[in-house]
Amino acid sequence: MTVTGVSVGRPLEAPPARRFRLTLPILLAGVAALVVLLSIARVVTGANDITSGGTVSAALGLAVPIGLAGLGGLWSERSGVVNIGLEGMMILGTWFGAWGSLQFHSPWAGVIAGAIGGALGGAIHALATVTFGVDHIIAGVAINIVGLGFTQYLSKLFFDGMPGGGAKQSPGLPHMPTLSVPGIGEPLRTLEARHWFLLSDFAGVLRGITQDVSSFTILAILLVPLSFYALWRTAFGLRVRACGERPGAAESLGVNVYLYKWIAVLISGALAGLGGAFLSIVAAGIYRDGQTGGRGYIGLAAMIFGNWRPGGLAGGAVLFGYTDALQLRQGGTSVHALLLVVAMLLAAVAVYQLVRQRRNTAALITAIGAIVVFAVFAVTDTVPEQFTSFTPHLTTLLVLSLASQRLRMPAADGIPYRRGQTI
């Protein structure tokens, strides 16, 4: 029975909630707002290095290996294979990148060799997890251990006895070329040196991303949209993601699940190997034992922070790279100024939660956090050096704890799959 054409037998359904979409204008507006907050903190504290071109350039360089490791984790986990072995694959990439550069007297040969070395670790991980069904965490931890021991053996075998080399390091490596946007370097440097509110800060950011940028860095940046296109805009990417969501359904439609998992894990290892090669070829210009410093794990955290998406992953990598760069540029003073930025961000989030989301309890908790951070900023003049070195790792823990409730991993991620299963 209906009245004026409206059914009374069923309750009206609420309209679906609008899903937030990160578009380019929103992204640019967010970056501009963040620069404004950093500019305010710089003027208040006098920590001029928080927006300097040197800090931005260092942050970009430190973000690249984290981002490449995170991209590697993204490819693997989108296919349903958890890759804890990113650290070991990066370690292989550092050694093979250095060896390839020395062997063929070219940094680009080292880039290719680093990718192959990481892919070798990926092949071992795929053999263990995809083919033999070994627990993904156990296989990844084993790769981290084997990668470290294997490269130490190779260093003694190849680098020991070389001029400038040794059992734990290689000789100096060929230099990777850099690129700059011509004609704007000196004007931006002059404007940055005036320390004007906002204008000098934007000048510092632009100088950091346009001057003396490594060719390898540009390649790494291009891999982010390329990975997005491959995974979300191609039939190949759809099959890879289907293997990570519903492998049984994918197999019923004719997808060779084993093959696509193998390919994804190989790509994962190659990307992690590229991150390791960047550390030895570009960041240091030499291979050293223990060079990765846990960046494979931070890359994994950046991937989780980005909700298994390339854009969010890149943002997480930049965040961790920036906090790491601050300890190199007026460490204690810069990190102290960052506390004011964090307090302002938390206050803005509290207002958003209260006004737009109507989440009074969450807004209260966030506001209390803002007050606590501001109080720490107000009663201190600097941050101890021991704390500044721990800042990137602390940032990792805080970001993951705050973002954990809004994350969604692939449905079949980490679940061993055998042909014929219905998951």
Whether the CB-CB separation of 266 and 122 falls below 8 Å is answered with yes
What whole-number distance in Å separates Cα of residue 382 and Cα of residue 389?
14
Give the distance from CA 389 to its chain's centroid. Answer: 19
Q: What tens-digit pLDDT sequence spans the chain (423 residues)?
A: 444 444 444 444 444 445 556 666 777 888 888 899 999 999 999 888 899 999 999 999 999 999 999 999 999 999 999 999 999 999 999 999 999 999 999 999 999 999 999 999 999 999 999 999 999 999 999 999 999 999 999 999 999 888 888 889 999 999 999 999 999 999 999 999 999 999 999 999 999 999 999 999 999 999 999 999 999 999 999 999 999 999 999 999 999 999 999 999 999 999 999 999 999 999 999 999 989 988 999 899 889 888 899 988 998 899 888 988 887 776 778 888 888 988 998 898 889 888 887 778 888 988 998 999 899 999 988 887 777 777 777 776 776 666 655 678 899 998 888 887 765
Closest of 33, 52, 32 to residue 42, by C-alpha: 52
Kindly give the residue spans of alpha helices, DSSP state H, lying in 79-165: 86-104, 107-126, 136-158
Closest of 318, 315, 372 to residue 343, by C-alpha: 372
pLDDT the model gives residue 404? 58
What whole-number distance in Å separates Cα of residue 107 and Cα of residue 207?
25
Q: Could you tell me which residues are beta bridge partners of residue 2?
A: 7
Task: Encode 184-214: b = buried (16+ Cβ within 10 Å), e = exposed.
Answer: ebeebeebbeebeebebbbbbbbbbbbbebb
User: Model-level pTM?
Assistant: 0.89
What whole-number distance in Å separates Cα of residue 30 and Cα of residue 32?
5
pLDDT, one tens digit per residue, over 8-61 is 444 444 444 455 566 667 778 888 888 999 999 999 998 888 999 999 999 999
pLDDT the model gives residue 319? 87
Tokens describing residue 169: 């390091």
Whether the CB-CB separation of 42 and 374 falls below 8 Å is answered with no
pLDDT, one tens digit per residue, over 78-92 is 999 999 999 999 999
pLDDT the model gives residue 2? 46
pLDDT the model gives residue 268? 97
Write down the residue that tokens 């009245």 correspond to: 3
Write down the residue that tokens 């991303």 correspond to: 209
pLDDT, one tens digit per residue, over 104-138 is 999 999 999 999 999 999 999 999 999 999 999 99
Domain boundaries, the chain: 48-305, 322-406
